[in-house]
Homo-oligomer: A and B are copies of this chain.
Amino acid sequence: MGENDRMTQVEKAIIGLRGLVMSGEFDAGSRLPEVALAERLGVSRTPLRQAMDRLVSEGLLERIESGGCRVASFDLDDINDAIELRGVIEGTAARLAAERGVDAEVIADARGLLARIDEGISGPNSVDFDLYVRLNARFHDMLAQMAGSDLIRREVDRVCRHPLASPNAFLRGQEIIPDFLASLVRAQGQHHAIVDAIEAREGARAEALAREHARLARRNFRFLRDADPRLATRIPGLSLVTAQ
């Protein structure tokens, strides 16, 4: 990986540790040993501890009073709250974008992006899943910026990074769900509606739509959870979910 050279040790530790925790390498609630982890990630303890601070603020780890960190565990309520929060924050971004207005060019960009998603999911019968995931993430990024506020953009990014509430969380693996394509179509319909509302300066509608849009994540999660227990070890983050 050539771009590893430009990656600082802290980023390396953040990405590596996040990947390890999400993959279920450590049981939920287990304490993370710093020295062993540092060696495993190929960094020293200093950047590793910075990475741990970061993951604590993301909610993926919890600090232990007596020292150190443990892997967080989530129940259904936690996930629903995180999804609710994302809906609220993205809803605010959409509302502010509508109220404050955005350049026609930005609207056009968003429409272009949505057109590409339309193509992707209305193909013959095989959906380019990775493409959808990538474009979906980009759409939510665009939404974050449309309010024209750095603070709002940062906050949207934050809640979208939440391991169990990101727009693409639990999207991989959905292939097994029968009407999974219908779910994508529905989500995409909401994307269009949100952009419409922003363009029409309908703040309340944009906010409500974005909130409801986040709710799809609940369905996705429940489907996946009920589908097959064996998936828990294959879907990133699913191993951190406790049985209510």
Q: Which residues of A contact B (CB under 8 A)?
A: 46, 49-50, 53-54, 57, 59, 77-78, 81-82, 84-85, 88-89, 92, 96, 149-152, 154-155
Contact = CB atoms under 8 A, between A and B. Distances in A.
Contact of A151 (B49, B85, B89, B155): B85
A92 B92 CA distance: 11
Copies of this chain, whole number? 2
A151 B96 contact: no
A230 to B, nearest CB: 28
B92 A155 contact: no
Nearest to A82: B151
B81 A88 contact: no
Nearest to A89: B88
A85 B91 CA distance: 11
Given A46-B46, A53-B50, A53-B53, A151 B78 contact: yes
Contacts of A78: 149-151
A162 to B, nearest CB: 9
A214 B95 CA distance: 17
A152 to B, nearest CB: 6
A92 B207 CA distance: 13
A36 B216 CA distance: 51
Contacts of A88: 88-89, 92
A20 B54 CA distance: 24
A92 B85 contact: yes
A10 to B, nearest CB: 9
Contacts of A89: 88
A92 B84 contact: yes
Nearest to A149: B81
A149 B50 CA distance: 27
